[in-house]
């Protein structure tokens, strides 16, 4: 796979996710696809379980995805994506591994926002 083709596959992954037809995402997933969430110690194997998990996840509306950044190298990429269903919001940092031009593995982190400590208020500016 030529350099930066990985970034295009990740863009296509998020474009397909935004359709909310989670079965369509299988188009960019390798047969041996695995998703891992280290924070909750969960692993999802295969495109079918991945689609079902996303479809069954409690939502208040359609999921929307804003790709903030993609960094890609040979056979790996990372994305920073904001996610919302109109009520719930989150930010996912996803590490992608590729095999034969398809996504074979994602290791994903969903960090929780937190208030900035007061002891450094004199050194920082608050971001919107």
* 3 state SS of 121: coil
pLDDT at 17: 98
Q: Does the domain at residues 5-109 carry the CATH identifier 3.30.1490.20? A: no
Regions of the chain where pLDDT drops below 70 = 1-3
* Residue 103 to residue 91: CA distance in whole angstroms: 20
The DSSP letter of residue 85 is S
pLDDT at 3: 52
The H helix count followed by the E strand count for the chain is: 2, 6
Beta 64-73 vs 76-84: how paired, if at all? antiparallel
Domain boundaries of the chain, sorted by first residue: 5-109
């Amino acid at each position: 796979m030529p350099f930066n083709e990985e970034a295009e596959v990740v863009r296509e992954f998020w474009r397909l996710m935004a359709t909310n037809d989670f079965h369509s995402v299988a188009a960019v997933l390798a047969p041996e696809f695995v998703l891992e969430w280290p924070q909750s110690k969960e692993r999802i194997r295969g495109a079918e379980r991945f689609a079902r998990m996303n479809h069954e996840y409690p939502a208040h509306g359609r999921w929307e995805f804003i790709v903030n950044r993609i960094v890609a190298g040979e056979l790996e990429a990372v994305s920073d994506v904001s996610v919302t269903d109109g009520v719930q919001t989150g930010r996912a940092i996803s590490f992608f591994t590729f095999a034969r031009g398809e996504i074979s593995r994602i290791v994903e982190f969903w960090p929780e926002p937190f208030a900035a400590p007061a002891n450094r208020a004199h050194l920082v500016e608050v971001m919107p």
